[in-house]
Structure 1
């Protein structure tokens, strides 16, 4: 009487496991693309990062960039010492 070989069974199980894992991984990557909200949120985050970098490059290290709208940038001067004001006069 022939008995099943446990090594052969383990090899077959490993092959099928690898096949099913690959199918699951492909289905997750291809079948479920990121939603438009996730893509839009990532693009917004990238745009803000790019805007901050562009503002720092345009204004320089001693000024703070302030975006008034999508295309208007104002550079605010950084003050080293605090200015004391009394009745609106420096």
Structure 2
């Protein structure tokens, strides 16, 4: 529930052994162990993220949207396909 995944990488790299550091490209090794913050630590880290304006959550009146809504803004064309008795309809 961290509001910015970059902070998870930073948290992990601060707490892990030298052999488990996540490199800049972010690629994990097979069976690599990750250090995950506790719920209390997550609250503290999220406070820092919010203070810095680096949250990737979109604040809505009834909660949060768990992705950056601005990143998907734009016009889209949606097509729906249905099948009744094996006959495709669009």
Greater relative CO (CA pairs within 8 A, separation 6+): 2
What TM-score does the superposition give when structure 2 sets the normalisation length?
0.20
| Larger Rg belongs to | 1
